[in-house]
Amino acid sequence: MDGRVYRQKDCLFPSRCEGVDYFLNSIKEHIPNTQLVINFHDWPQVNKHFNQLLPVFSFSKTDEFFDIMYPAWSFWKGGPALSLYPKGIGRWDEFYEKLVQKSKIWTWNKKKDLGFFIGSRTSSERDHLILLSRGHPELVEAKYTKNQAWKSIKVCYKIHRNKI
């Protein structure tokens, strides 16, 4: 309101909130007085089944949801914690510059013919990719980020205990 950003004090994911704060503060002078909801979860919120159009901004979406897409929090600050970047990759615009430089050194003909995934464990559906990676590392290298990886141990064991 009036060039200022207000939000609920409590925050479920502090690094995500910090990234969204950064993003909103960088555009606040270009948008009118507005009230909106930003979804900090890894899944959309406004299911089309209930037929209610609500101004909920999310960084993930499927065709079954009305959520409005916006740039993920990791594009502005933080991002997934990887072994090379234990506190996250930081601002995407700055990280992108590094990627461009590295892409000049690592041309396509120097790269491995291998699938690659590192991300959060938002649901058990991704466990199958992790298990494929463990069983066939020549096909895909897949890992969970540190903050979520512990959840897969029980689920993977339950789902695949008969296959071990």
- Under 8 Å between Cβ of 117 and 142: yes
The C-alpha atoms of residue 73 and residue 84 are separated, in whole angstroms, by: 19
Compute the residue count for the chain. Answer: 164
Residue among 61, 62, 70, 86 nearest 26 (CA): 70
Helix (H, G, I), strand (E, B) or coil at 116: strand
Q: One of 10, 21, 42, 67 is an active-site residue; which one?
A: 42
Q: Which residues contact 143 (CB under 8 A, 6 or more apart)?
A: 117, 118, 130, 133, 149
The C-alpha atoms of residue 153 and residue 137 are separated, in whole angstroms, by: 19
DSSP symbol at 3: T
The C-alpha atoms of residue 81 and residue 150 are separated, in whole angstroms, by: 14
Annotation says 21 is catalytic? no
- Under 8 Å between Cβ of 62 and 9: no
Known catalytic residues? 42
